[in-house]
Amino acid sequence: MKPPVRPSTSGSRIVTLTMNPALDITTTADQVRPTEKIRCHGARYDAGGGGINVARIAHVLGASVSAVFPAGGQSGQVVADLVVEAGVRFHRIKIAEATRESFTVNEAHTGQQYRFILPGPRLSLTEQAQCLDGLRAAARSAEFVVASGSLPPGVPADYYQRVADICAELGTLLILDTSGGGLRHITSGVFLLKASVRELRECVECDLASEPEQVAAAQELIRCGLAQSVVVSLGSQGALVATTRGSQRFSAIPMRSGSGVGAGDAMVAAITVGLSRGWPLDKSVRFGIAAGAAMLMTPGTAVCNRADVDRLFETVPEPTEV
């Protein structure tokens, strides 16, 4: 196996880890019908996967950031080339199998969106270990590590706990945004956990039909030592934030409907950027809500515009206690 490609990642205040990156392809079709050939119009290609999306947006927001990710095959090379084009420093771990592709079709007739997500490559034990080694090297001088996205096939469900242990060893603050087994097998070491209601529901295995139940579930994750703070994204309803000092409710920004692809990653990126600027959590979450809203103004998986984020940030109301 060839050695990993290692453009400089030293000195970044924020380091992201993407264990299951993707080549995101977005196109438009007049109408989507079963069994028929769907003629598409144009295509947009972006480097994707949670941590890469976070890195791209954090870079646009002016942060010092680098990305760590495995990538293989022709699709993996395209992902790496697109990260270069985005101006983000990175550490690529070359893997034997090809990086997955994700396909989004916007239907012009109805305005609906169809998203097709492939499972991703199977990483060998050696490749998994190289990812952890790459993260340890890149994060040695970082203030924050953002581990975001799904785990690819074959990677053990406790992998993010290993990431948390490395962050604890380095004295780096871990921000985690994942789902499924990767979330259920975290037991400690997370500085900030970002979860949707669905992900929170999966984690605690309860229905969480009401806001008080959602707040209680987030507070329980803090009490059991999993995380120091929890941000629950509510989409068009805003967000809930739980800390050891209590819980707050954040309102969303009213926006015209648009593509919600990447809104959660934008929220995580902007929260992390805010914290890296020394802002308190409530101000950082307001910045995250603004970035998520700004993603509704961009096509497909394109990153948001910094001027839009700054402008929308001024409109986000102060939170209320819950």
Amino acid at 249: R
Catalytic one of 207, 265, 282, 308: 265
For residue 241, the SS3 value is strand
Q: What angle do CA 211, 213, 214 make, to 5 degrees?
A: 65
CA 301, CA 250: separation in Å to the nearest integer? 25
Q: Are strands 246-250 and 190-196 parallel, antiparallel or unpaired?
A: unpaired
Cα–Cα distance list, 30 to 18, 39, 110, 124, 180 (Å): 33, 8, 9, 41, 34
265 is catalytic: yes
Strand order in the sheet with 227-233: 89-94, 65-71, 14-17, 144-148, 173-177, 190-196, 227-233, 239-243, 246-250, 320-321
- Helix 263-276 with 50-60: angle, nearest 10 deg: 50
Q: Are 152 and 123 in contact (CB under 8 A)?
A: yes
- From 194, 131, 142, 148, select the one nearest 169 (Cα to Cα): 142
Active site (catalytic) residues: 265
